Homo-oligomer: A and B are copies of this chain.
Amino acid sequence: MGDFTGGDVFLADCPARLAVEIITDKWAVVTLYGLSRGPRRHGELLDLIGGISKKMLTQTLRRLTEHGLATRMAYAQVPQRVEYELTDLGKTLMKPIEMLTEWAELYGADVVAAQEASTAD
């Protein structure tokens, strides 16, 4: 996403940009989370992740697969069965994500409080 003429920070084209791209994807984190406990079928994820549409889930899963974070296994059955699973690479990403959720548990209330304080001004 970027060629920048910026300075020394991480914005130029350092690899961190990549992580941001992956994480910034609206449904990626949630989907990864849905896969964190083992293989899941498309329909299972659909239920597990409330609020995501079939289209977005498919799209997100394909992207994760293309990035080598998940695998897609289709079983030739009727009815068709497709399972997604984290790759080893994908699993390595779960640790940073867990850090994030831990942060949210620790400081989420503070953020909400700040938000309300500024809204009620």
Contacts and interface: CB of A to CB of B under 8 A. Distances in A.
Contact of A111 (B69, B109, B117): B69
Contact of A11 (B15, B49, B114, B115): B49
Majority DSSP secondary structure for residues of A touching B:
helix
Contacts of A108: 15, 18-19
Contacts of A9: 33-34, 37, 47-50
Q: What copy number does this chain have within its complex?
A: 2
Q: Which of A15, A108, A114 has the most CB of B within 10 A?
A: A15
Interface residues of A, number: 65
Interface of A: 1-2, 4-7, 9-12, 14-20, 22-26, 29-30, 33-34, 36-37, 47-52, 65-69, 89, 92-93, 95-96, 98-115, 117-119
